[in-house]
Chain A
Amino acid sequence: MEILDIFASAGLWAAVLRIATPLIFGTLGALLCERSGVLNLGIEGIMTFGAMAGWLAVYNGADLWMGLLVAALCGALFGLLHAALTVTLGLSQHVTGLGITLFASSLSYFLFRLIVPIKGTPPTIVPFQPIDIPGLSDLPFVGPALFTQTAPTYLAIALAVVLGYVLFFTPLGLAVRMTGENPHAAEAQGVNPITVRYGAIMAGSALMGVGGAFLTLSAFNSFFPTMIQGRGWVCIALVVFSSWRPSRALLGALLFALFDAYQLRLQTAVGKAVPYQLFLMVPYIMSIVALVVMARRARVPQALMQAYRRGER
């Protein structure tokens, strides 16, 4: 009946990709940080700042891609701050991350208020438009389901592949993973764990910034200071779900988005019989279930959340 028919609608699958995109960026970013041994709970705030900075750049006349770049650079700056505090100073990664989330969220609100005049509703930009891929977008069902996305969505999927390749098939990736497993051994091999961690955190935070910017440059066309709405925390959970593997991170983000897109459609299909709160819970419950199943085989980077101090035993 209707409940299953939803899966046969192209609209559902198009929505899955749209909803998943910010999560893919965010999860890959958090994954990269954690692979080097540093938990980055600044993600929620960095996404907020990325959403604001990217939007603001475009609002002031920049190209949409330039907006994404600005968001990435701002993310990297917060990553630099996080790295300075957790890597150089070796402070608690939990506390620092939460501090950065609070700082970045408030700073985005503050800057937005300083720069953009108060209006009835916030001003808009022209966001990314779905791109038409000749041949593919016209295919029956598959076309509207998978090939009517905006460019950043394809970028997110490509990045998952690239990150997987870099982490597992290049010397650079090996250095990152080694630093996350055993920084002392890495140092003994001539890899500088401090540099690697700085790099991984900054690159990962840049991805988080882009994830936030997707919300203001593609999913919507205005910035609201509270619009990230916990998406960053979902990404942190998805990293565990993925067992720190980019391919599974992609899968996890798509799965979460599937449940979310599905519940929105369930509400209208069988909303009369079941309280809507149950539907809203679905993606989160399914994530917890998936976490329980996946976490059994999860391989946590051994040095995660351990500060590296040279010469320390």
Chain B
Amino acid sequence: MAILKSMTRRSVLASGAALGAGLAVTLSGTRAVLADTPLKVAGIHASPVENAWNSRLHEALLAAAKDGVIEYEFSEGVSGTDYPRAMREYAEKGVDLIVGESYAVEREARQVAKDYPDVAFLMGSSGEASGDNFGVFGTWNFDGAYLAGMLAGKMTKTNVVGSVGAIPIPEVNLLINAFNAGVHEVNPECKTLVSFIGTFFDPPKAREAGLAEIDAGADILFGERIGTADAAKERGIKAVGSLIDYTDRYPDTVFANAMWYFRPILDAAVADVKAGKPVGKIYTAYGLMKDGGSDIVYTKGVAPKEAEEAMEKRRAEIKAGTFEVPRDMSEPK
């Protein structure tokens, strides 16, 4: 918040100084994007920015603003029915790049992009890129999940690990399947449980799903959703987090996290906009481990030493491009 405020103040000062010079240009409607001026970026978040996924975007955008690469303003908790309106408003306002999520408004979002060909869009989406200005990205942090699975597979004593997911959309499936594949690489006999809570934001329910899996014998939980680790904490077992680093929130419970970083995707899109290149492409790959978009963050010494060594070996192979984590988008069983 403090960063944001100071940023706004700075931008107000800057715009005040630039007003005289820039007025003519702005009024004539041409948007000159200079290579060294910060890009005007708007973030439109369908959920509160505390929500794990949105927090990744928000954090990366704030960091980019701090670095002076972009000027960032945002709206949060924008419902699907209001989303295209928010997009249009920012587009009319003259931002250069709109970052957000079109999962619930795939068609409408593309229509807005068509109506504002001068504005670039970078959207979290399950669909394809469209036109010259509508780029999409998926959230592929499954490399980290696979590596966390390699640790979990060696740590389980009951030989049962469980995952709690929201809804089996491709990105969630990829993640849980990769975690299970990692478990099975080191422990083919291990049983993997999966449950879905059927909603994205219901932490008490995710906790109940986690407790149900513990009752069914699981002694390591992979929490695609926040709330899962609370179940693990309550029963004194270990858990794996996803997207963000949950270690501080659950110090003795969460020992590994399949991290996802939005900055590489953002940087790629910002570079394209500044270079005047079309952004109507899929940016997902920048979020893979090879490009620094995903990784595992873990507490050393929790898993057996051999497990950590085997995992580190795979990690190096994935980074080097010699090992590819299987991409399985089918619903995990």
Contact = CB atoms under 8 A, between A and B. Distances in A.
A264 B212 contact: yes
B278 interface: no
Contacts of A260: 208
B117 interface: no
B50 A224 contact: yes
Contact of B203 (A18, A227, A261): A227
Contact of B50 (A120, A265, A272): A120
A183 B135 CA distance: 62
B226 A121 contact: yes
Interface residues of B, number: 41
A6 to B, nearest CB: 9
A220 to B, nearest CB: 5
Interface in A208-263: 215, 219-222, 224-227, 229, 260-261
B103 to A, nearest CB: 15
B226 to A, nearest CB: 7
Contact of B48 (A18, A109, A219): A109
Interface stretch (B150-158, B191-199, B265-273): B191-199
B249 A269 contact: no
Contact of A9 (B207, B213, B215): B215
B94 to A, nearest CB: 26
Given A220-B227, A225-B48, A117 B1 contact: yes
Interface in A176-228: 215, 219-222, 224-227
A277 B204 CA distance: 19
Contacts of B230: 220-221
Interface in B307-333: 331, 333
Given A121-B52, A227-B203, A265-B212, A272 B333 contact: yes
A219 B50 contact: no
Contacts of B193: 268, 271
A12 interface: yes
Contacts of B212: 11, 15, 261, 264-265, 267-268
A221 B207 CA distance: 11
B249 A224 contact: no
The interface centre, meaning the residue of B77, B204, B207, B244 with most chain A CB atoms within 10 A of its CB, is: B204
Contact of B207 (A121, A220, A272): A220
A261 B209 CA distance: 8
B124 interface: no
B203 A226 contact: no
B215 A265 contact: yes
Contacts of B249: 121, 124
Contacts of B207: 219-220
Contacts of A122: 50
A224 B48 contact: yes
Interface in A77-123: 109, 113, 117-122
B159 interface: no
B201 A226 contact: yes
Nearest to A18: B208
A274 B48 CA distance: 34
A280 interface: yes
Nearest to A230: B199
A119 B331 CA distance: 32
Interface string A270-281: 011000110010
Contacts of B58: 118
Given A121-B50, A261-B212, A267-B195, A276 B244 contact: no
Nearest to A224: B201
A19 interface: yes
B264 interface: no
B49 interface: yes
Given A220-B204, A268-B162, A120 B194 contact: no
B200 to A, nearest CB: 8
A222 B244 contact: no
A132 B58 CA distance: 43
A15 B213 CA distance: 12
A19 B206 CA distance: 12
B321 to A, nearest CB: 30
A42 to B, nearest CB: 19
B170 interface: no
A15 B208 contact: yes
Nearest first, the 4 closest Cβ-Cβ pairs linking A and B are: A11-B215, A219-B204, A264-B212, A267-B195
12 contacts: A9-B215, A11-B212, A121-B244, A220-B227, A221-B230, A224-B48, A224-B51, A261-B212, A264-B212, A267-B195, A271-B333, A280-B196
